[in-house]
Structure 1
Amino acid sequence: MTAPAAQGATERPSLWRNREFVALWSGQVVSTLGAQISGTAMPLLVLVTTGSPSAAGIVGAAGTLPFLIAHLPAGPLVDRWNRRKILLISQLVAGLALSTVPIALWLGVLTVTQLTIVAFVQGLCSVFFGLAERAALPMIVPAALLPTAVAQNEARSRGAALAGPPLGGLLFGIDRAVPFLADALSYVIASIGLLFIRSDLQNPTKTPAEPLWQATTAGLRWIWRHPLIRAAMLLIAVSNLVFQALTLILVVLAQRQGASSATIGMMLGIYSGGGLIGALAASRLHRRFTPKPSSSESTGSGLRYCPCSHSRPALW
């Protein structure tokens, strides 16, 4: 007969018994869903108020610009600053920025310039939050469950991308301010979830006190030395550019054909079904197919994270 201690030693730990991961994951389910809701409503709002696809493109570009210019310098800052504060401040600042949109709508003073600034601030907060969350995840989740946790985070994003656009289109049809109120509220809920995380989220090893520009260039050199990472980032950058443009074109064409905001939201949500299935299958595939690191990667120390994705995916 096996002793209880031996049974506990061989029992596989459950990710969903990790209260801190559940608090973080649950809050980000709401927050990511809110981002998709407002991400669907933003181009619709610009097109309705200005009738200009160019203005909608400018606002969309402002939201994605931080992912291009801020990722590399933000990485060293996330290692140097308090990650708990980065997570919390990113959520609160983004929520505050989103809350100005319905206020401006009610006052009749909304401008494209304001929407451009709001989109940029939201994107910048998303960059810092995404990097801090990925860096903090190994401090919350045991190493054996880390691939599953990453897969669950991806499933979270894909599920929100599937449900968020239809909800965004539906809420926009009810009132133009409602999607942005929903997203602002989602940031508040996510901030409350962060308060339940008590673990130390900092690296156990002290970060070298090198200048920020040296850390940034070191990151660029590391990416350039790894062909797989370099190719992946190039493909992601090009595909993001293409799909962002195609999505905006589809929204403009659908609106000109008389499609309702709910129909446009449903159209934007359909494509995410395949991504959701892939994310749910990722943990099983990881156990069956273990990638072999290259010689340059195998000589490194520890697990490295590629700054080529983000937690709140832009929809347009």
Structure 2
Amino acid sequence: MTPLWRNRDFVLLWSGQVVSTLGARMSATAMPLLVLAMTGSPADAGLVGAAATLPYLIGHLPAGPLVDRWDRRRILLLSEVTAGLVLATVPIALWLDALTVAHLAVAAFAQGLCFVFFGLAESAALPMIVPAGQVHRAIAQNEVRERGAALAGGPLGGLLFGLDRALPFAVDALSYAAASIALLFLRGNLRPEPTAPPEPLWRATRTGLRWIRRQPLIRAAILLTAVSNLVFQALGLVLVVLARDGGATAGEIGVMLGVYAGGGLAGAVAAGTLHRLLPDRTVIIGVVWFWAALLPLFLLADGPWQLGAIAAGCAFAGPVWNVVIVGYCALLTPNELLGRVTSASMTLSWGVMPVGSLLAGLLLAAAGPGPAVLVLAAIMLAAAVGALRVAR
């Protein structure tokens, strides 16, 4: 078997996404800072965050059947090009002094929709690029890619924003261009195998949901993942406001988010080994209890470094969870159904993210960051108690 790092198409895809993800993390760090600088309103920041994640709720189900029908290489390329063009409008509007919150919300929504199509196409293409025996390792390397880019992207986004508010978004647009060039050199056939005439789109969207309904462990894991995604989507904005209210600068907030991401990178490096040592049920239940224990500690933190350290502990467990669930699903699902099954699971588990952003904005505006942390900790504790049902 060819070693993973000698697989030309995997290396091209992985390398291009390192650059693209780094740029996306920079702009994601800068986006709430920009909204807060423009309006001073956490509710507006939550609204823009909700717009960015709304495609996770409404885009995954229809996108899944399309990924199973269309050439996945074209979907990957079109998603990157479109996202880059959209992000380029943000620095242009800033330089022209014409940027509005509505513009940011539309740009964030479009970027999120491109992310949905790209993510589904990449998940469906991965088993066509690497052998079955290397799928778990490839997913683990993708986790390293995501977490490593987040580690660097947070501090860089904060630093660039401190120099010029437009810079993180301009760099992100260029990163999409670089990733698009890498995709042009993929040589493998990423077209789905031809099957019978495709079923109607709405019926096709239900195929993935029916498959998930027959998989008890994955069904339970998706529900728990949905709760954790809601909590951590809200937590990102809560941490930014908590640090800002404590006097942290944009650069210090970026470093805090970088420390947060560093925990995820360490977890991604360890995930390739841990997923082989720990039973799936142990990972699914144990991670939720781990998070429930850490969240209240944010109330005791003093300054951005301590906030980042606690968040890094939370982030460490995420990649192990992802490798177990995504790898299990990728190997169990027939490739011709993979786009639909992945889209259904993403709709259920990621569709709560806009609710998390709105919840964060409303809690911060109504009660402040301290009570917001308490609410998020209570939600995670309830999920941890519910996770015990999986062990039965």
Give the TM-score, by structure 1 length: 0.87
Residue 236 (1) aligns with residue 225 (2): yes
Amino acid at match of 2:216: P
In 1, Cα distance between equivalents of 2:186 and 2:196 = 23
Instruction: Give the Å deviation of 1:301.
Output: 6.6
Amino acid at match of 1:89: L
In 2, Cα distance between equivalents of 1:256 and 1:37 = 22
In 2, Cα distance between equivalents of 1:207 and 1:97 = 36
Q: Cα deviations across residues 193-212 of structure 1 (Å, max 9, x unaligned)?
A: 10110111022352651011
Amino acid at match of 1:258: G
Instruction: Give the Å deviation of 1:51.
Output: 0.8
Residue 253 (1) aligns with residue 235 (2): no
2:260 to 271, 276, 279: 271
2:149 to 160, 164, 174: 160
Instruction: Give the Å deviation of 1:176.
Output: 0.3
Amino acid at match of 1:233: I
1:187 aligned residue: 176
Amino acid at match of 1:220: L
In 2, Cα distance between equivalents of 1:18 and 1:68 = 34
Report 1:52-131 matches (<5 A): 52-131=41-120
Q: Cα deviations across residues 1-58 of structure 1 (Å, max 9, x unaligned)?
A: xxxxxxxxxxx53111111111110000010111110000000000001111111000
2:386 aligned residue: none
User: Is the CA contact (8 Å cut-off) linking 2:26 and 2:157 kept in structure 1?
Assistant: yes
In 1, Cα distance between equivalents of 2:54 and 2:29 = 18
In 1, Cα distance between equivalents of 2:162 and 2:333 = 52
% identity of equivalent residues: 65
In the superposition, relative to structure 1, how do residues 240 and 173 fare at CA in structure 2: closer, same or farther (>3 Å)? Answer: same
Instruction: Give the Å deviation of 1:253.
Output: 2.7
Amino acid at match of 1:164: G
1:42 to 2, 6, 31: 31
Aligned positions, number: 297
Unaligned 5+ residue runs, structure 2?
282-323, 348-352, 358-392
In the superposition, relative to structure 1, how do residues 207 and 181 fare at CA in structure 2: closer, same or farther (>3 Å)? Answer: farther
User: Is the CA contact (8 Å cut-off) linking 2:208 and 2:342 kept in structure 1?
Assistant: no
In the superposition, relative to structure 1, how do residues 78 and 27 fare at CA in structure 2: closer, same or farther (>3 Å)? Answer: same
Instruction: Give the Å deviation of 1:241.
Output: 1.4
User: Is the CA contact (8 Å cut-off) linking 1:76 and 1:216 kept in structure 2?
Assistant: yes
Over aligned residue pairs, what C-alpha RMSD do you find? 2.4
In 1, Cα distance between equivalents of 2:226 and 2:30 = 24
Give the TM-score, by structure 2 length: 0.71
Hey, which of these two has a bigger chunk of helix by percent?
2
In the superposition, relative to structure 1, how do residues 170 and 126 fare at CA in structure 2: closer, same or farther (>3 Å)? Answer: same
Instruction: Give the Å deviation of 1:286.
Output: 4.4
User: Is the CA contact (8 Å cut-off) linking 2:79 and 2:114 kept in structure 1?
Assistant: yes
In 2, Cα distance between equivalents of 1:257 and 1:151 = 36
Q: Cα deviations across residues 155-194 of structure 1 (Å, max 9, x unaligned)?
A: 1011112111111101100100000011101100000110
Q: Which moved more, 1:42-51 or 1:201-210?
A: 201-210
User: Is the CA contact (8 Å cut-off) linking 1:80 and 1:207 kept in structure 2?
Assistant: no
Amino acid at match of 1:48: A
- Secondary structure of 1:80 counterpart: coil
In 2, Cα distance between equivalents of 1:289 and 1:274 = 19
Instruction: Give the Å deviation of 1:257.
Output: 2.9
User: Is the CA contact (8 Å cut-off) linking 1:98 and 1:180 kept in structure 2?
Assistant: yes
Unaligned 5+ residue runs, structure 1?
1-11
Instruction: Give the Å deviation of 1:287.
Output: 4.7
